[in-house]
A and B are shown apart, each in its own frame.
Chain A
Amino acid sequence: MYLRPVSHPKMIDDKSLVTLVANGDRQAFKLLIKQHERLVAHMIGRLIDRHEDREELCQDVFLKVHEKIGEFNFQSKLSTWIGTIAYRHGINHLRKRKIELKDISEEKEQGQQFMDTSNLSESLEDEEMNALVIKFIDKLPPQFKLVLTLYHLDSMSYPEIGEITGMPEGTVKSYLFRGRQLLKNNLMKYLGKEELI
């Protein structure tokens, strides 16, 4: 299919955007990428730990979006549909690399630390604290990382996250609660209770 350069749409609704992209409008597709690259980068960035794979995977996600845009039936938000494609790409990539998509074990949930606690820092500034929590997030199983990111960073609702990941709403809520609890418990272990009291 030829890509015809047409007008430069600034503000455009999902329906018109999808129609333009399906008709081969490259400026419309560029706009679609710009609007959703943050979401895709968040998802792929959280799921995939190998930096060298991330950008290419993001490209593959958008190429798939371009290929399948004619099949988008407006039953969901465009961002949710793109999120679903990004999720499948990310999970397939992990499976190819034989990375297990396991749940968190009871032991870890009780607060077993992921990191060495022998060198507790004296006091941590907010930035350091954020960096520490982000390190803990990176150690979480993929689904936990993803659900937490979609909810907190991309402000998605439970049903939207459920649609992207294929999880029931209750599971999404449970992953969010348990993920945050685990992060808190690990932070507590890492910093040492006495230091903060």
Chain B
Amino acid sequence: MKNTEEELQQKIEQGLSVDHSLDSLLYQKVYSALKQETEFQLPAHFADKLIDRLESRSNKSHDHLWIALGVGAFAIAAGVTIYLTGFRANLGIFRFLSGYSGLAVFGVAFILGLQLLDKKISYRKLSAGL
């Protein structure tokens, strides 16, 4: 059965004459349909759209480079200024916190925890479409 069908498929593919059996007729229909274009076609302006997307990507990475250069330049300038002025950082009015380091750590952790919780709740609400 398989050999016969295989032979039949080969014959149709090679354009050889085949008998007028039901199998032959149906295989010819199958072969003809397989050569039909798919229903999905890309739009005519697909390549242009893609080039635009690529260029905007390229511009974005260029923007990132400028941001990095700016931050780098700022850091260098700050370093030079600190060196030249002999600036010493101090806590100023927050100096009293040095005696309450546990409280400071708790405060920071509490605020971060609140932020995290808020993000999770907001995300759930957004996902649920509320």
Contact = CB atoms under 8 A, between A and B. Distances in A.
Interface stretch (A9-17, A28-36, A77-85, A93-101): A28-36
A126 to B, nearest CB: 7
13 contacts: A30-B48, A34-B47, A37-B47, A51-B40, A59-B49, A130-B32, A134-B36, A137-B34, A153-B35, A177-B6, A180-B9, A187-B29, A196-B22
A44 B48 contact: no
B42 interface: yes
Contacts of A133: 29-30, 33-34
A187 B30 contact: yes
B2 to A, nearest CB: 8
A29 B52 CA distance: 12
Interface stretch (B53-61, B109-117, B119-127): B53-61
A1 B27 CA distance: 51
B38 interface: yes
Given A51-B40, A55-B42, A153-B38, 4 more contacts: A44-B40, A153-B34, A183-B30, A187-B26
Contacts of B15: none
A3 B54 contact: yes
Contact of B50 (A46, A63, A180): A63
Interface residues of B, number: 34
Interface in A40-92: 40-42, 44-46, 51, 54-55, 58-59, 62-63, 66
Contacts of A41: 38, 40-42
A48 to B, nearest CB: 9
A152 interface: yes
Contacts of B40: 41, 44-45, 51, 54
A149 interface: yes
Contact of A193 (B6, B22, B46): B22
Closest 8 pairs between A and B when the two form their complex, measured CB to CB: A45-B40, A133-B33, A152-B34, A33-B47, A130-B33, A45-B38, A184-B26, A183-B30
Given A184-B30, A193-B22, A55 B9 contact: no
Contacts of B48: 30
A18 interface: no
A156 interface: no
A187 B53 CA distance: 44
A153 B39 CA distance: 13
A196 B30 CA distance: 15
Contact of A66 (B9, B33, B54): B54
Contacts of A152: 31, 34-35
B54 A63 contact: yes
Interface in A166-193: 177, 180-181, 183-184, 187-188, 193
A153 B23 CA distance: 22
Contacts of B53: 59, 63
A16 B108 CA distance: 59
A33 B26 contact: no
